[in-house]
Amino acid sequence: MKKSGNILFCGVGGQGILLASELTAEALLAQGHDVKKSEVHGMAQRGGSVEAHLRYGEKVHSPLIEPGGADLLLAFEIMEALRYLPYLNKKSKVIVNTQRIMPPAVATGKTVYPENILEELTSRGLTVIPVDGFEIAKAAGNVKAANVALVGALSKLLPIPEAAFIAAIEKRVPARFLEVNLKVFKAGRKAVK
């Protein structure tokens, strides 16, 4: 089992990145890891690009992942995955939510949304796992739980028992949303072979 690791979360403000990174951290903490997370809030609610660095190990000093230092990237929005290439190395694994959210310059017709993003990523030798978080969440009965579907996918790539994630979800998610969130989590987990 890998003793330390760096997970980068990225996406667009309002996508539930905060909860996803909290659930992951919770599961890692329960396994006895030291865990640090760093994020920038500020304008998070205003649709800007958002990132969270999560580092775990026996003792974590720096709260920031170095360039090229991310073992895993969990991108909540497909174009955002490209923005964080400088944090990735050849061995990095990338889980990409296939959702597209138009940035202002695209929405107002000033430029176009890039095509072939998955190919851009795989052509660099990266392991890329596309996940349709929105569809998974919708099928399970709550479109707002796409973030938990992605945590499900991520859980498959981490050396932590599934039960640790389930316990984290039980702790963090309000009771009335618990059942559907667990369902979404499991479906997300299945999306990774």
Rank residues 111 and 179 by Cβ distance to another protein and give the closer one. Answer: 111
C-alpha 161/C-alpha 175 separation (Å) is 22
Cβ at position 187, least distance to another protein in Å? 21
C-alpha 147/C-alpha 20 separation (Å) is 6
Per-residue binding letters, 61-80, with another protein (x by CB under 8 A)? xxxx-xxxxx--------xx
DSSP class per residue in 75-104: ESSHHHHHHTGGGEEEEEEEEEE------H
Rank residues 29 and 192 by Cβ distance to another protein and give the closer one. Answer: 29
Query: How many of the chain's residues bind another protein (CB under 8 A)?
Result: 53
Parallel, antiparallel or unpaired: strands 70-75 and 88-97: parallel
Q: Which residue in 19, 124, 139, 167 binds another protein (CB under 8 A)?
A: 124
92-124 per-residue burial string, b: 16 or more CB within 10 A, e: under 16: bbbbbbebebebeeeeeeeeeeeeebbeebeee
Cα angle for residues 45, 7, 106 (degrees, 5° grid)? 40
Q: Is 57 in the site for another protein (CB under 8 A)?
A: no
Q: Which residue in 17, 23, 35, 191 binds another protein (CB under 8 A)?
A: 35
E strand spans, the chain? 5-12, 34-39, 49-57, 70-75, 88-97, 127-131
Q: Is 178 in the site for another protein (CB under 8 A)?
A: no
Cβ at position 67, least distance to another protein in Å? 5
Q: Which residue in 19, 98, 113, 192 binds another protein (CB under 8 A)?
A: 113
**Helix/strand/coil for 158:** coil
Q: Which of residues 5-34 bind another protein (CB under 8 A)?
A: 12-13, 25-26, 29, 34
Q: Is 171 in the site for another protein (CB under 8 A)?
A: no
* From 54-62, 148-156, 158-166, 170-178, span contacting another protein (CB under 8 A): 54-62
6-21 per-residue burial string, b: 16 or more CB within 10 A, e: under 16: bbbbbbbbebbbbbbb
Rank residues 50 and 184 by Cβ distance to another protein and give the closer one. Answer: 50
Q: Residue numbers of the site for another protein (CB under 8 A)?
A: 12-13, 25-26, 29, 34-43, 45-49, 60-64, 66-70, 79-80, 82-83, 85-89, 102-109, 111-114, 120, 124
